[in-house]
Amino acid sequence: MAEEPEHADLGGRLGERAWRPGQPGVLVLPSGRLVRGRGLRRPLDPAADPPSYGLYLLGSRPPRVPWEARWVRRPDFRLPADRADARAAFAEAWRRAAGEPVEVACAGGRGRTGTALACLAVLDGVPAGEAVAFVRRHYDRHAVETPWQRAYVRRFGRAGAADVTGEAADGTAERTTGGAGGRDGAG
């Protein structure tokens, strides 16, 4: 008898996505990856599918959840305390979103969450100079609230998405160093 997938109760059969385009907070990245952004101040709708993985951007440790989660220390309106850890966390969320329901959340669901979603968009091939507008258009028009959050997304792109993902924007393995090579349009 076949063994039941570990997260069958969280989103159906293995490989089946719990998120669907058009659901509240769901951002569809250009690759087709679906990531749910939300604010933790608002309780999760009991009818909503839970994620199998959550990335939480808060100044203090988040409450325990019944799914796998990662915390990035990031006070409200601020940048991550450890930028290398944040970069690795964004890359992990992006990779996992290819085959499982991933959520990204902060307290309000706009500033820190929007910034992280914009970084995921950069990893997915959106030029860094366009990533904030992409997230505002497809997730929340108020996402990425501060000038330094916008600058963080531009710097994230200059650092090179391929350095994190190991893939070029076309999905092939990156063979050069430096990744995006200034495609973000920032000066």
Query: What does the DSSP assignment read for 128-182?
Result: HHHHHHHHHHHT-TT-S-SHHHHHHHHHHHHH-HHHHHSB-TTSSBP-SSSTTTT
What is the pTM for the complete model shown? 0.78
The terminus-to-terminus CA distance of the chain in angstroms comes to 59
pLDDT tens sequence across 30-51: 999 999 999 999 888 888 889 9
Instruction: Give the per-residue pLDDT at 110.
Output: 95
Q: Which residues, other chains included, contact 26 with Cβ-Cβ below 8 Å and sequence gap of 6+?
A: 19, 20, 34, 35, 36
**Residue 38: predicted pLDDT:** 95
Q: What is the mean pLDDT of residues 91-107?
A: 96
Phi first, then psi, for residue 112 (nearest 5°) are -65, -40
| Stretch 112-120: mean pLDDT | 97
Q: Which residues contact 1 (CB under 8 A, 6 or more apart)?
A: none
pLDDT digits (tens, 9 = 90+) for 47-68: 888 999 999 999 888 889 999 9
